[in-house]
Structure 1
């Protein structure tokens, strides 16, 4: 199997380079989708080569002419579902799977941090698994993602696309924002940002500005209207992820064998009538379909309630329902 594994690695490297070339070429508009296809192909070939090196089969038992999917290979190599490399790859696999149904270039700014992390993860795992240095095939500076950082606002998305598509865009972007914040790992997303700071020390300044107290042009800070989609960014599953991440960071053990899951969250939402409280929940209506998204305040509220009595939290909700 060694020869086959080597062939898979060589093809993996080629797919990886093609993905980068497509993404970093400014004339290609299909680069988000194209990159997701090729980077997934690169990972699939690389992980299957590692499975072969471990002496494991990459074929279906009942169909020896078919190999397992990338999703299956990812779970075999990274059995811990909380591994940040796995979480990053699963989000990009999800993007690849929906790229044939939704136009995604408008939300490139949201996916770029995930892509950059994915590129670095691939290069590191290629060395770890197969002792191959990607810089022997492509210059180091080409490993940097050159993204278009001019995203549309939620209102612009709603004007540009039908309501169903616009809602899907907004939910995807919100989910990435939420997970990026909760995981807080460069193996999941590498953020690129420019920040300005005012300093009185000229030596620390990149450029200087002037404040004129005698100016007749007065300015004031105003409160902007908030889009509910910006405030209520958490999906039902993201609430579960966020609560579990925060409990882990606070070293709080919820005394319930299945942990904080969909069942416990449903009990909590019902007991506190969360869906009727605009502070915690927002109701989306598209045609005959209704769905809810939730705020960060709900995450904080749940964690605060668990913290009070982690041993009896779930039992109390069960008794209240009865």
Structure 2
């Protein structure tokens, strides 16, 4: 499809330019805000892509209207649908694509409001970033045809593996600042909400195996082969898994759901087993998690906003599970403080909070 000059073409051009700028930001070696720059520009690219599509299908109607039928405005300009609304209005994205987009919408908000060393985040979410880009081009071609394909303008970024490893180790040694720890926890929690098929899909996160070629039969060949995991047969997957074990020099861990996570009743039981002369009840446990703000209130807009070291949201069951660290924290708190249950309940009624850092071991 060859678009003539007009709003659709200018919006689509802006979308493609945003995607190319996102890649440029990501691939610059000295970029220190790689993740937030890439995510911000890619969300702009996706939003404009949808706007261009809507402009060709429903016309100039992708704007918010108030109940009286008038357009909502921001600084005198009509307020257009943001990306989350575009996704809902379109309603035809594959689950992996939609999950990937929702991941970045939430992650952008968290990254933008924190001052963190982001290289650790860059490494952690590389697969999701690559899928965000691939999915964008796939939908771009679906909407407007191969004429607008941008894959020829893209190349794989060169990696300085030794430097990267050093940076990763440095970030790990720092035990991750509170802000960075919260970002990492969000990524882990979001991934834990995905079913196995979605998490393993290329639409949610690209999983490429990079294989350096020792020798080439054709010297014009690329020096590296990239293999898509989901295109391999079972025999090849087994071979690559074995290679992965050799490289890691340790056994591959198979993940299961909620292993080591505790229900509230189990938390209470474990705490009481270790306390001498004191005990907590289910009701007091509720008071304590509220005082220390380890999880949001029931019905909160974002149930995932937990203190991840202590508590995680279990989406399939719409409840919360607790970590062993929360048990240890409560044992220490009850042993070293003189608070009576009535005092703790009074603090909660008065809207007070307690600091986790003050009572950590």
Q: Same fold (TM over 0.5)?
A: yes
Match of 1:121 in 2: 135
Give the structure 2 partner of residue 29 of structure 1: 32
Asked which structure has the greater CA Rg, the reply is 2
Would you say the 8 A contact 2:25–2:37 is kept in 1? yes
Give a deviation string over 1:158-186, Cα, whole Å, max 9, x none: 6341xx42441331232354357721210
Please tell me whether the aligned partners of residues 116 and 145 of structure 1 are also in contact (alpha carbons under 8 angstroms): no
**Residue in structure 2 matched with residue 97 of structure 1 by the alignment:** 109
State the Cα RMSD in Å.
4.4
- The match for 1:41 is 44
- Which residue does the alignment assign to 1:188? 204
CA contact (8 A) 2:16 2:45 kept: yes
Q: Distance in 1 between matches of 2:207 and 2:250?
A: 28
Contact 1:180 1:188 (8 Å CA) reproduced: no
Q: Deviations over 1:111-165 (max 9, x none)?
A: 1101101111111111100125455x563542x466776474799366341xx42
Mark the runs of 5 or more structure 2 residues left unpaired by the alignment.
Answer: 67-71, 212-238, 240-248, 271-287, 296-310, 318-361
Q: 2:26–2:34: 8 Å Cα contact kept in structure 1? A: yes
What does 1:63-142 align with in structure 2 at a 5 Å threshold?
63=72, 65-78=78-91, 83-102=95-114, 103=116, 104-135=118-149, 139=152, 141-142=154-155
Q: CA deviation at 1:106?
A: 1.8
Deviation at 1:105, TM superposition (A): 2.9
Secondary structure of the 2:138 match is helix
CA distance in 2, matches of 1:155, 1:34: 20
What secondary structure does 2:125 align onto? helix
Normalising by structure 1, what TM-score? 0.57
Which structure 2 residues correspond to residues 126-165 of structure 1 after superposition, within 5 A?
A: 126-135=140-149, 139=152, 141-142=154-155, 144=156, 150=165, 152=168, 156=172, 159-161=175-177, 164-165=178-179
Please show how residues 1-322 of structure 1 align to structure 2 within 5 Å: 3-55=6-58, 57-62=61-66, 63=72, 65-78=78-91, 83-102=95-114, 103=116, 104-135=118-149, 139=152, 141-142=154-155, 144=156, 150=165, 152=168, 156=172, 159-161=175-177, 164-175=178-189, 177-178=191-192, 182=196, 183=198, 184-193=200-209, 269=263, 273=265, 275=267, 288-291=292-295, 292-293=311-312
Q: 2:14, 2:48 within 8 Å by CA — same for their partners in 1? A: yes
* SS of 1:290 mapped into structure 2: coil
- 1:51 Cα deviation (Å)? 1.4
- Indicate conservation of the 8 Å contact 2:121/2:184, yes or no: no
Distance in 1 of aligned mates of 2:182 and 2:173? 10
Q: Judging changes above 3 Å, is the alpha-carbon distance between structure 1 residues 155 and 139 closer, same or farther for their aligned structure 2 residues? A: closer
**CA shift in 2, pair 1:193/1:285, >3 Å:** farther
Once residues 132 and 72 of structure 1 are traced to their aligned partners in structure 2, the CA distance between those partners, rounded to angstroms, is: 26
Per-residue CA deviations over 1:81-136 (Å, capped at 9, x if unaligned) read x721111111111222222222333221221101101111111111100125455x
SS at match of 2:142: helix
TM-score w.r.t. length of structure 2: 0.51
SS at 1:293 equivalent: strand
